[in-house]
A and B are shown apart, each in its own frame.
Chain A
């Protein structure tokens, strides 16, 4: 079969699977976040931790819950790494250094899952399971909770209560993440993914040489790594490692897992606000963006211009034979369009055009279709900004879903839109200005600059993928990228929860003759246009210095 046709059929199969699952999963998640009933195990848990599940929280209390929970999560994960020698099944792997432990703790709690260490050498089973697997699940559950709170802001009227964080977190864990993760783990096991509690296995090859192959409890973590759009590999090579991703079937499953919850969240939104077409419009914008970026990356990767790539006869450096170009690109565009950041091929070795697409995908704020919870939140904020711009054009107070967008709402949306670019551009500029940075680069020239820009884009957007040629083990990069992850996660969450509180307080206004319909394609065009305009104005100069310069060389 022709390579392009096979690749396209693979894309079609993925889209069919998503189309089939998105409505039932989306409606199910809507029920999870609106149901009055607690499961018995949940009720028992609430009693144990002394939570009044029936009481709603005002947004500052909800936010305090998110911050407090994330803070203790970071502390626990830091301590687990520092105290590794005392933990069982550590295989003699020592205490993780303070800078790496700091960076990793923030990285996994913020759903970034950036890795500045070689897991199979540095981490034992206990830190992997009781530390990283846990945050793979909980950081995604926090994302879902925040998204649910924002949707309630649109749904509710005349109240200062946006839900209960502990209830949302517990339900997202028990009813969404854990059951789906278990099913996904078993499917991954069937495709051949490893799941071992041993440190490794010795094999003696045909040449008589003995090699130790590290093993790990992979399947349970791989499932939540993808499902929760986390992306931190249990092996250094991530989803390129054959033990994490043994064949094209496991690969398709992993791509499906990272897209399914963000895609279904648009349905959850539509269902909860009582008009499913509101969700469909947003999903269309996400889908168009994903498709367009996939097409550009695919073309760029099959039309390389780098001298080394031309000498090799094609862009296979940093790719696995079982995946080839179309399957690698499909994964790369999906992992940067969500906040996953897992890789089955090395983005640093992509052509200028395809590498630029993965970078741009993050700089758009990760809304194609975005992280678990975070993707829906991101596109909703863009929708508010689009509505505000439309309101300016016709000179009337903008409204969305019956809520007026006044000064408070627009200010919060502006903060949300500006924080990420500020962190990315200032961070990259500072890094480039430091004398130590040229020595940390894995490549020179325009591509070297791209490595630094990519690192800050990845951290601030909580993606976690890398142009991994950059050496990030210096204290500067560990701390700067750690802070970028913190800002990119928690400033945005605070802004979103403030927005949710402000919206919930408002009384609903009825749609009038002059109201722009937000469940029609025209609004989708407006949202997509705003998204591209904001990103283009903000990032064009930086992109021109890096990937664009490389692509036209």
Chain B
């Protein structure tokens, strides 16, 4: 029995080395080669959006922008991230993940209440008007999207601070909104990275 085990283990080692080359080097590099095809390469390297020659963000990664003056906040905000230093604020992009807090957690209850109050104050609305996705942390901590309701809640403030007409900002939100894929897959989303870049572009004087 022991000699069988030893012999089989030797065979296993030889096979493992060969299969490691095949499955661990050849296979991923072939897939990487395919990913260089134009049309796929942009996604493969992180769906980075370039503005004026610099990488301005990834359409797949939401990082909350921080206003220079909180009283004049020109940005649409992402969902809260469990990796941010405070209950609201930018994620730590070197990691990913969520709070893992349960529905009966006192900690989570406190956090949700604080977020609701802060956002209601920022937007000048009653706390009950703040939608669910605005007060809960996503699973990745890098959720690029907010729901249409949270985007709509932020339109008036963004319009006021940027000086853009409210209808113009609504149009920009509509431009960053995707419905369900095929009409029924997933949920409607508003991409915050794309939306903030569109708002910034609209503010720039023409020419």
Contact = CB atoms under 8 A, between A and B. Distances in A.
A15 B63 CA distance: 36
A205 B31 contact: no
Interface stretch (A153-161, A318-326, A407-415, A525-533): A318-326
Given A173-B19, A220-B27, A442 B184 contact: no
Contacts of A203: 48, 55-58, 61
Most buried by A among B97, B102, B103, B132: B102
Interface of A: 1, 5-6, 9-10, 13, 45, 48-51, 60-61, 64-65, 67-73, 76, 118, 120-121, 129-131, 133-134, 137-138, 165-166, 169-170, 173, 178, 181-182, 185-186, 189-190, 192-198, 201-207, 209, 211-215, 217, 219-221, 223, 235-237, 240-243, 246-249, 251-252, 304-324, 327, 343-346, 348-349, 351-352, 355, 442-447, 467-469, 550, 553
Contacts of B28: 129, 133, 217, 220-221
A178 B26 CA distance: 11
Interface string B8-38: 1111111110111011110110111011000
Contacts of A169: 15
Given A221-B28, A242-B144, A312-B136, A213 B102 contact: no
B60 A192 contact: yes
22 contacts: A1-B180, A45-B15, A68-B9, A129-B28, A186-B34, A189-B35, A195-B44, A204-B56, A205-B57, A209-B66, A213-B61, A215-B45, A217-B32, A220-B27, A237-B141, A247-B186, A306-B105, A311-B112, A311-B113, A313-B132, A313-B135, A443-B102
B93 to A, nearest CB: 4
B100 A442 contact: yes
B186 A322 contact: yes
Given A203-B55, A207-B65, A447-B105, A220 B100 contact: no
Contacts of B184: 1, 5-6, 9-10, 13
Contacts of A344: 139
A73 B11 CA distance: 12
A504 B146 CA distance: 58
B61 A214 contact: no
A212 B94 contact: yes
Interface residues of B, number: 98
A308 B18 contact: no
A241 B142 contact: yes
A165 to B, nearest CB: 8
Contact of B140 (A70, A320, A443): A320
B104 A550 contact: yes
Nearest to A211: B93
Contact of A138 (B23, B56, B90): B23
A320 B143 contact: yes
A15 to B, nearest CB: 14
A302 to B, nearest CB: 12
Contacts of A443: 100-102, 104-105
A173 B15 CA distance: 12
A550 B102 CA distance: 10
A242 B25 contact: no
Given A10-B185, A121-B95, A219-B35, A318 B100 contact: yes
Contacts of A45: 15, 18
Given A133-B23, A443-B105, 18 more contacts: A45-B18, A48-B14, A49-B11, A64-B8, A65-B12, A71-B9, A120-B96, A173-B19, A173-B23, A185-B31, A195-B40, A196-B35, A236-B97, A241-B96, A309-B103, A315-B103, A346-B139, A550-B104
A336 to B, nearest CB: 16
B185 A237 contact: no
Interface string B99-111: 1111111101101
A72 B16 contact: yes
B11 A65 contact: yes
Contacts of B31: 182, 185-186, 189, 195, 217, 219-220, 223
A205 B4 contact: no
B207 interface: no
A209 B57 CA distance: 10
Contacts of B47: 192, 194, 246
Contacts of A204: 54-56
B93 A327 contact: no
Most A-side CB within 10 Å, residue of B45, B103, B111, B200 = B103
B157 to A, nearest CB: 15
B66 A71 contact: no
